[in-house]
Amino acid sequence: MNTKRKGDLYALLCALIIGLGNITAKVGLEFVTPELFNFYLFLFAFGISLFTLFNPRQRHEIKAVTTKTMGLIFLLSALFAFGIYFFTKSIQLIEPATVSFLSRLEAVILIVLAYIFLKERLGKYEIIGGIVALGGVFVLKFQSDLALSQAATLMIVSVVFFAGAEILVKKHIHSLGISRFLFYRNFFTTIIMMVLVWSKGQALYIPSTKILLLIFATTLFFPVFGRVTFLLALKRIDISRAAFITQATPLFTAVFALLILQSFPTSIEWLGGAIIFIGVIIVQLSGNRSGK
């Protein structure tokens, strides 16, 4: 199997994993606050990262970190922390499939940031697709109820944080190192989430076993397997190609939501989501960008 094919499979696997993670997050957030949910999510992720210390090569990679790299990882940790924080606040309000559709806006923002910082070409299809996708966001924000409108705003903020982080990761992926990056990212993000819990005046208590299991499952799907598969994809294919393949995430989420939660988005949510999806597909039809 060639390198590009492996990258495609990693990106598709990432879409499936994140789709299932959206469901476990939705259920878990019905019982705890987003701040507490995310604190335990990254605490579990950091605990899993500790196992990499048993591998001599990965342990050496984690120890061999410069001050500059540590600063970059801390910046990325802050971006990811606030990105997932606003994401979880959004998923509390509306259907996970709708949140997943809104998250597709990240692909449009990634293209724009790639144009600015990575010097990738911005063509007419990308401009048209971006406008169409923003039309879908307009439908969800201004043609719907208050809860959906608030969720749309939260998701727009979330994808800006995520897109900024992805651009930095793509630009420095080889110097960061996957094991080193994930280890310190989980450590820093746990601290950031703990500060958020305290800043909101919330008690840092231990939830029930059921909730902890849901958070642990989400940990495996989001910052562990989801992030690892996406990073593995980025090492083999262009960021735009990876973004295109992960557009399958809303479809996986909708299927899992129907099978597990017996829930489905409303007609207006499907309309806005479909417009966003079409816009993103138009963006990805701009041609082969792998040369960049």
Q: What is the mean pLDDT of each run of 10 residues along the chain (292 residues)?
A: 81 91 93 95 93 90 89 94 93 88 80 72 76 84 80 90 86 80 93 95 93 94 83 81 79 87 83 86 61 40
Indicate whether 85 belongs to any domain: yes
**Helices assigned H by DSSP within 29-55:** 34-49
Residue 70 lies in a domain: yes
What pLDDT is stored for residue 206 in this prediction?
Answer: 93
Please state the separation of Cα 91 from the chain's center in Å. Answer: 13
Can you tell me the distance from the alpha carbon of 72 to that of 65, in angstroms, rounded to the nearest whole number? 11
Residue 291 is assigned to a structural domain of this protein: no
Q: CB atoms < 10 A from the CB of 149, how many?
A: 16
pTM: 0.81
Give a yes or no: residue 138 inside a domain. Answer: yes
pLDDT at 286: 59
Structural domain for 232, as ranges: 3-284
Domains: count for the chain: 1
Q: What would you report as the CA-atom Rg of the chain, rounded to the nearest whole angstrom?
A: 18
Residue 289 inside a domain? The answer is: no
